[in-house]
Structure 1
Amino acid sequence: MGLWKYLSDWLGSRKVEAKILCVGLDNSGKSTILNHFKAKHDRRHEMAPTMGFNVETFKHSRIKFLAFDMSGQDRYRDLWERNYAEADGIIFVIDSSDQLRIPVAKEELGHIIRHPDIESQPRLPILFLANKSDLRSSLPAPKCAQLLGLNGEEWEGNNLRSKSSDVRPWYICSSSGKSGDGLEDGISWLSQKLIHRVAKMKA
């Protein structure tokens, strides 16, 4: 039986549930992005900075997402690691208009992928959203990838190199939480990876 037919038959009889961590520095747009994924009648009209974390739910491609919107403020970042072990995927949001803070985001990324609970899950997918692409000062996704070192040798021991045969699944795209541009592209990629991940775990 082909993989796609297997997935189609399997998904036809049950829904996939996935726990996602949405992380990134403060003011990167995490809450706005997750709010956009929700059904229109469930969206909030006003957004406030996240304190600690919030839990949001939405559906995409027959997947029910349980998304943990983790505060990016420095004093709350130690909360991220408490959820790594049970995560099915990560959305890492970067403010592409704030080039000065991208090195800080890179440092936080290093903490994530070197954490034992993440290292023990080499196929856990990471979606990078280069957010705020609607702003003139924003950098394109390939430049953000370069600044984060996603294609460089520095992540060689952490399975984030695109040239590795056992590379951790990752994808980066430009996005705008304000307009919604690029978000469908990103969440579709993540949904596909999660379907494959769950199907292999159940096979």
Structure 2
Amino acid sequence: MKTAICHHVDFFTSGVCMLNNKVGRVIEAIISETSGIRRKMGLFDKLAGWLGLKKKEVNVLCLGLDNSGKTTIINHLKPTNAQTQDIVPTIGFSIEKFKTSSLSFTVFDMSGQGRYRNLWEHYYKEGQAIIFVVDSGDKLRMVVAKEELDTLLNHPDIKHRRIPLLFFANKMDVRDALSSVKVSQLLCLENIKDKPWHICASDAVKGEGLQEGVDWLQDQIRTMKT
């Protein structure tokens, strides 16, 4: 009888161990999957989580001269599994949508080519935040960038609104590129008194400097939504 009981106990113990092993493997798989999902989250996903808002829609305009790196920056803002390897210049404009559990982002990537810049103003009313990208290595066209910025700030649909402005002094990796401080001076950003603004040095190809900008922007949007 004792032998039978011992066999029964051993069988039961073995079964429990097998069950625990299976549960352990399931838990490990869930943790692994969750970690993978987190790695795939783009900057906008993180932004949504920080805000803690329900089903809010945020329209962001991404402006700047052609070849400044706007599309490359937007590509980095997307979830990892949605990013593309080949970046081509935007013709006219393109719209990128990012849905998260709490926010729906619509980013308008506006072409910076001269013949398309007149399209920008048609989207000013819808914009709740603006990302303005400057090629910090293109010193010759810094004056043109300032002219476009001045036109933007004086437009009736922008002038009287307290809309956050995030500037990226992009291509900081280029030799002899201007610092973000110098770009700020050339654009006369210190004259912007009625709108919150911030400038970051960035390297869109490597994704450097983008997180700082998004951190600042999420604070501004949170203020707008409260």
Task: Identify the TM-score tier after normalising by the shorter chain.
Answer: 0.7 to 0.9
Q: Is the 8 A contact 1:61 1:191 kept in 2?
A: no
SS of 2:125's partner is: helix
| 2:173 equivalent among 134, 151, 155 | 134
Extract unaligned runs of 5+ from structure 2: 1-50
User: How much does 1:16 deviate?
Assistant: 3.0
Q: In structure 2, what is the Cα distance between the partners aligned to 1:12 and 1:31?
A: 27
Give, in whole Å, the separation in 1 of the partners of 2:123 and 2:54: 25
Superposition RMSD on alpha carbons, in Å?
1.9
CA spacing shift, 1:62–1:96, aligned 2, 3 Å? farther
How far apart are the structure 2 equivalents of 1:100 and 1:147? 12
What is the aligned counterpart of 1:87 among 115, 127, 137?
A: 127
What per-residue deviation string (whole Å, max 9, x for no partner) do you get for residues 56-77 of structure 1?
Answer: 1346895432100000000000
AA paired with 1:127?
L
CA distance in 1, matches of 2:188, 2:141: 14
TM-score normalised by L of structure 1: 0.82
Q: Do 1:37 and 1:58's aligned partners in 2 also have CA atoms closer than 8 Å?
A: no
CA distance in 2, matches of 1:191, 1:24: 21
Aligned residue in 2 for 1:143: 182
- Matched positions, count: 177
> Quick one: which of 184, 208, 219 aligns to 1:192?
219
- CA gap of 1:103–1:62, structure 2 versus 1, over 3 A, is farther
Q: Tell me which amino acid in the other structure corresponds to 1:124.
A: I
CA shift at 1:131, angstroms? Answer: 0.3
Is 1:168 paired with 2:188?
A: no
| 1:181 partner SS | coil
In structure 2, what is the Cα distance between the partners aligned to 1:148 and 1:107?
9
Which of the pair has more CA radius of gyration? Answer: 2
Moved over 3 A (4+): 58-64
> 1:70 maps to which residue?
110
Superimposed CA distance per residue, residues 70-126 of structure 1 (whole angstroms, 9 cap, x where no aligned partner): 0000000000000001110100000001111111000000000000000131x1000
Alignment partner of 1:181 is 2:208: yes
TM-score normalized with structure 2 length: 0.74
Structure 2 Cα separation of the partners of residues 13 and 38 of structure 1: 19
Unaligned regions of 5+ residues in structure 1, if any?
A: 1-10, 162-166
User: Residues 176 and 59 of structure 1: is their aligned pair in 2 closer, same or farther, counting only changes over 3 Å?
Assistant: farther
**Residue 6 of structure 1 corresponds to which residue in structure 2?**
none
Correspondence for 1:5: none
